[in-house]
Chain A
Amino acid sequence: MIHAFGTASTGRLVRTAILVGALVLGAAPLLPGQVAVAAEPAVTSLRLGALFPQSGDLAFGAADALQGVQIAVELFNETNEHGITVELFTADAPNPAGGAGGVRQLVTTNRAQVVMGTYASAIASAAAPAAERLGIPYIETTAFAEGITRNTGNVIRTTISSGALGAAAMDFVLTGLAERLGVAEADMRVALVYTDDEFGVSIADAALERLDASPAALVLQESYPAATTRDLSSVLLRIRQTEPHAVVHVAQVPDATLLWRQAQQLDVYLPAVVGAGGGYGQAQFAAALGANVNGIFNVVPPTSGSINTEALAPRAQELLGELRERVDARGWTQGNYTDWAFMGAWVFLDEILPRAASLSVDDLMAAAAEVQVDALDSITGFGFEFTPAGEPNSGQNQRAIPVVQQWQEGTLSVVYPEALAVSEFIDVPLPTWSERTERIAD
Chain B
Amino acid sequence: MQLTLQILANGLLLGGLYALLAVGLTLIFGVLRVVNFAHAEFMMLGMFGVYWVWRMTGLDPYLAVLVVTPLILLVGIVCDRLIIQRTIGAPEVTVVFATLGLSIFLQNAALMLWTADIRSVTTPYSAMVLTPFGLRVSVPMLISFAVAMLAAAGLWLFLSRTLYGKAVQAVAQNREAAALMGINVRRVYLWTFSVAVAAAGTMGGLIAPLFTVYPRVGMSYIVTVFVIVVLGGLGSVPGAVLAALLIGLIEAAAGFLFGAAWAELSYFLIFLAVLIARPQGFFGRRGAEVFAGR
List A residues at the B interface (Cβ < 8 Å). Answer: 55-60, 63, 196, 222-225, 227-235, 237-238, 253-254, 257-258, 261, 264-267, 282, 284, 287-288, 290
> Which chain B residues lie closer than 8 Å to A63 at the CB level?
115-116
Say whether B164 faces chain A, with CB atoms less than 8 Å apart. no
Which A residues are in CB contact (< 8 Å) with B115? 59-60, 63
Q: Is the C-beta of B100 less than 8 angstroms from some C-beta in chain A?
A: no
Contact A231 B116 (CB under 8 A): no
Q: Pick the contact of B260: A56, A224, A227 (CB < 8 A).
A: A224
Docked CA distance A200–B17 (Å): 27
| B10 smallest CB distance to A (angstroms) | 4
**Are A257 and B212 interface neighbours, CB within 8 A?**
yes
Measured CA separation A266–B2 after assembly (Å): 13
A229-B260, A231-B255 given as contacts; is B116 within 8 A of A58 (CB)?
yes
Query: Cβ of B261 and Cβ of A231 under 8 Å apart?
Result: no
Nearest chain B CB to A293 CB, angstrom units:
11
The residue from B136, B219, B221, B253 contacting A266, defined by CB atoms under 8 A apart: B136
List the count of A-B residue pairs having beta carbons below 8 Å apart: 118
Residues of B within 8 A of A257 (CB): 118, 120, 211-212
Does the CB pair A290–B214 fall under 8 Å?
Answer: no
- In-complex Cβ contact of B117 among A225, A231, A284 (8 A): A284
Give complex CA distance A42, B120 in Å. 51
Q: Which 10 A-B residue pairings sit nearest by Cβ, starting from the closest? A: A234-B255, A59-B116, A60-B116, A288-B120, A224-B260, A234-B256, A233-B10, A264-B127, A284-B118, A254-B212
Judging by beta carbons under 8 Å apart, are A234 and B122 in contact? Answer: no
Nearest Cβ in chain A — how far from B245, in angstroms? 14
Report yes or no: A59 in contact with B111, Cβ–Cβ below 8 A: yes
Q: Is the CB of A230 within 8 A of B212?
A: no
Q: Is B6 an interface residue (CB 8 A)?
A: yes
- Of A222, A265, A287, A288, the residue contacting B259 (CB under 8 A) is A222
- The CA-CA distance from A232 to B215 in the complex, in Å, is 21
Shortest distance from the beta carbon of B128 to any chain A beta carbon, whole Å: 8
Contact present for B119 and A284 (CB under 8 Å): yes
- Interface residue count for B (Cβ, 8 Å)? 44
- Whether A261 pairs with B210 at a CB distance below 8 angstroms is yes
Report yes or no: A265 in contact with B261, Cβ–Cβ below 8 A.
no
B14 touches A253 (CB 8 A): no
**Most A Cβ at <10 Å: residue of B3, B126, B220, B261:** B220
In angstroms, Cα B221 to Cα A267, docked, is 26
Q: What chain A residues lie within 8 Å of B17 (beta carbons)? A: 230
A238 CA to B108 CA in the complex, in Å? 38
Residue on A with the closest CB to B108?
A: A55
Complex interface: chain B residues within 8 A of A231 (CB): 10, 14, 251-252, 255, 263
Q: Shortest beta-carbon distance, A155 to chain B, in Å?
A: 26
In the complex, which residue of chain B has the Cβ closest to the Cβ of A288? B120
Task: Name B242-265 residues within 8 Å CB distance of A.
Answer: 251-256, 259-261, 263-264
Is B3 within 8 A of A57, CB to CB? Answer: no
How would residues 199 to 211 of chain B score, 1 for a CB under 8 Å from any chain A CB and 0 otherwise?
A: 0000000000011
Cross-chain pairs A/B with CB under 8 angstroms, 22 sampled:
A57-B116, A60-B115, A222-B259, A223-B261, A224-B260, A224-B263, A225-B261, A227-B220, A229-B220, A234-B10, A234-B253, A235-B260, A237-B3, A237-B256, A253-B118, A254-B212, A261-B127, A264-B127, A266-B6, A284-B212, A288-B118, A288-B120
**Neighbouring B residues of A56 by C-beta, 8 Å:** 111, 116, 216
Kindly identify which residue among B210, B212, B260 contacts A223, using a CB–CB cutoff of 8 Å. B260
Contacts of B157 in A (CB 8 A): none
Question: CB-CB < 8 A to B108: which residues of A?
Answer: 55
Question: B216 touching A235 by the CB < 8 A rule?
Answer: no
Which of A196, A233, A253 has the largest number of chain B CB atoms within 10 A? A233
Residues of chain B within 8 A (CB-CB) of A261 are 126-127, 210
Chain A residue nearest to B119 in the complex (CB): A284
| Minimum distance in angstroms from A435 CB to a CB of chain B | 14
B223 part of interface (Cβ distance < 8 Å): yes
A55 near B212 with CB under 8 A, answer no
Shortest Cβ gap from B88 to chain A (Å): 31
Binary A-proximity of B109-135 (CB < 8 A = 1, otherwise 0) = 001000111111010001101000000
Check B111–A222 contact: CB distance below 8 A: no
In the complex, chain A residues whose CB is within 8 Å of the CB of B65: none
Q: Measured between alpha carbons, how far is A230 from B253 in the docked complex, in Å? A: 14
Compute how far the CA of A55 lies from the CA of B214 in the bound complex, rounded to whole angstroms.
Answer: 12
Interface pair B136/A57, CB less than 8 Å apart? no
Instruction: Tell me the residues in window 186-243 of chain B with beta carbons closer than 8 Å to chain A beta carbons.
Output: 210-212, 214-217, 219-221, 223-224
Q: Which residues of A contact B259 (CB under 8 A)?
A: 222-223, 234, 238
Give the distance to chain A from B247, nearest Cβ to Cβ, in Å.
Answer: 11
How far, in whole Å, are A253 and B37 apart by their CA atoms in the complex?
Answer: 25
The answer to whether B87 has its CB under 8 Å from any CB of chain A is no
- CB distance A55 to B260 under 8 Å? no
Q: Does B138 contact A (CB under 8 A)?
A: yes
A237 touches B6 (CB 8 A): yes
Instruction: Assess the B117–A227 pair: CB atoms within 8 A.
Output: no
Task: Name the A residues within 8 Å of B126 (CB-CB).
Answer: 261
CB distance from B58 to the nearest CB of A (A): 16
Q: Assess whether A235 is in contact with B255, with CB atoms less than 8 Å apart.
A: yes
Shortest beta-carbon distance from A122 to chain B in Å: 15
B94 to chain A, nearest CB (A): 24
**A235 contact set on B, CB distance < 8 A:** 255, 260
Most buried by A among B127, B138, B210: B127
State A228–B116 Cα separation when bound (angstroms): 17
Complex interface bits, B80-93 against A, C-beta within 8 A gives 1, otherwise 0: 00000000000000
**In this complex, what residue of A is CB-closest to B138?**
A265
CB neighbours of A227 from chain B (8 A):
219-220
A228 in complex: contacting residue of B10, B122, B141, B264, CB < 8 Å = B264
User: Which of chain A's residues has its CB closest to B223's CB?
Assistant: A228
Residues of A within 8 A of B223 (CB): 228
Quick one: closest A residue to B136, CB to CB? A266
Q: Is B45 an interface residue (CB 8 A)?
A: no
Q: Decide if A288 touches B111 in the complex (CB within 8 Å).
A: no
User: Quick check: A230 and B261 within 8 Å, CB to CB?
Assistant: no
* Complex CA distance for A394 and B212, rounded to whole angstroms: 39
Chain A residue numbers with a CB within 8 Å of B261 are 196, 222-225
| Complexed CA–CA distance, A257 and B138 (Å) | 16
Bound-state CA distance A55–B255 (Å) is 31
Docked-complex contact B252 and A55, CB < 8 angstroms = no
Complex contacts, A284 vs chain B, CB 8 Å: 117-120, 212
Contact B252 A233 (CB under 8 A): yes
